């Protein structure tokens, strides 16, 4: 039995400990916002926060997150209470097919937590692990920089809403 915190709630699973966290979150805990794109840590579609760091969860065995804090796109914000990045993504019509965008937003949120006013090069660097096959890069970059700018102006930080958006948790 492995126990960890998922979007603020303690959860337990008896899935095979080698199962990548992505599949445990998607199939056992039924949070479908995190996506599968490559299964090899190459595309970033599966990005979640593990103790605040952006991590590729398709290659992270679930036993490695014992006791850790996991945040998914659902925990970052919800349609009714969006993270500033999600609001910027929406206002600027960033997504095309949308499939990569949870991972993009999770990587961007971790970047801004770390570095609230990144340069363009720092954004490039931090986002280089996330593929967008639809090629939304111009807008992704613009949205991140616009949030960084607003945060600088308002100086209200980017603490995200970790209020869990959790369906019934199975153990």
Size of the site for other proteins (CB under 8 A): 61
β-bridge partners, 142: none
- Torsions phi, psi of 55, nearest 5? -130, 145
From the list other proteins, ligand FES, none, partner contacted by residue 17 (C-beta under 5 to 8 A by kind): none
Q: Applying CB under 8 A, does 70 fall inside the site for other proteins?
A: no
56 interface partner picked from ligand FES, other proteins, none, CB below 5 to 8 A per type = ligand FES
User: Using CB under 8 A, which of the segments 1-9, 49-57, 110-118, 132-140 binds other proteins?
Assistant: 132-140
Selection from 40, 37, 44, 33 nearest residue 71 by Cα: 33
* Residue 87-126 contact track with other proteins, rule CB under 8 A, x = bound: --xxx-xxxxxxxxxx--x-----------------xxx-
Nearer to other proteins, 60 or 155 (CB): 60
Residue 65: C-alpha distances to residues 61, 121, 157 (Å): 8, 31, 27
Which string of DSSP letters, residue by residue, matches 1-51? -EEEEETTEEEEE-S-TTSBHHHIIIIIS---SS--S-SSSSS-TTEEEET
Q: Which residues bind other proteins (CB under 8 A)?
A: 15-16, 18-20, 23, 27, 30-40, 42-43, 45, 72-74, 77-79, 82, 86, 89-91, 93-102, 105, 123-125, 127-141
């Amino acid at each position: 039995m492995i126990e960890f915190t998922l979007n603020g709630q303690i959860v337990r699973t008896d899935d095979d400990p080698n199962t990548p966290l992505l599949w445990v979150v998607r199939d056992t805990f039924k949070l479908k916002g995190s996506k599968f794109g490559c299964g090899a840590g190459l595309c970033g579609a599966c990005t979640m926060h593990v103790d605040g760091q952006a991590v590729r969860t398709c290659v992270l065995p679930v036993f490695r997150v014992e006791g850790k804090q996991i945040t998914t796109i659902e925990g970052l914000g919800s349609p009714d209470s969006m993270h500033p990045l999600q609001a910027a993504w929406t206002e600027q019509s960033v997504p095309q097919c949308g499939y990569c965008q949870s991972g993009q937003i999770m990587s961007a949120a971790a970047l801004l937590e770390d570095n609230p006013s990144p340069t363009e090069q720092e954004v490039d660097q931090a986002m280089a692990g996330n593929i967008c096959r639809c090629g939304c890069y111009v807008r992704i970059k613009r949205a991140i920089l616009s949030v960084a700018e607003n945060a600088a102006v308002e100086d209200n930080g980017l603490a995200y809403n970790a209020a869990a958006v959790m369906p019934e948790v199975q153990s």
